Amino acid sequence: MTSMMLLMMMMMMMMPVLQTVNEIRDLERAIDLIKKAIEDKELPLKVAQTRLDERSRRVNVELCNDKPMTG
């Protein structure tokens, strides 16, 4: 075999490895985006939970059983 053929064979064997590395990189980026999206929603969720908790403590003052209250 010539050195050119060996080089071609090595390149062909490396292709699946490179594809796997690229897929891992893409998945890591997706995970980072998901983590960021979760982080961005934490503060509004805390606000909503606090407001709902406060609403449940107002006995006879604007106490209502609407959809946010009952789920």
Please give the structure tokens belonging to residue 31.
């995970």
Q: Domain residues of the chain, as ranges?
A: 25-71
Please state, as a whole number, how many other Cβ atoms lie within 10 Å of the Cβ of residue 50.
10
The residue with tokens 């403590």 is 57
- The identity of residue 70, as a single letter, is T
Q: Please give the pLDDT value at position 56.
A: 77
- Give the pLDDT confidence score for residue 19 in this predicted structure: 92
pTM of the model: 0.59
Neighbours of 33 (CB within 10 A): 10
**Looking at this protein, which amino acid is placed at residue 68?**
P
Give 13-33 pLDDT, tens digit per residue. Answer: 889 889 999 999 999 999 999
Residues of the chain with pLDDT under 50: none
| Segment (H or E) for 15 | helix 3-57
Give me the pLDDT at residue 52, please: 84
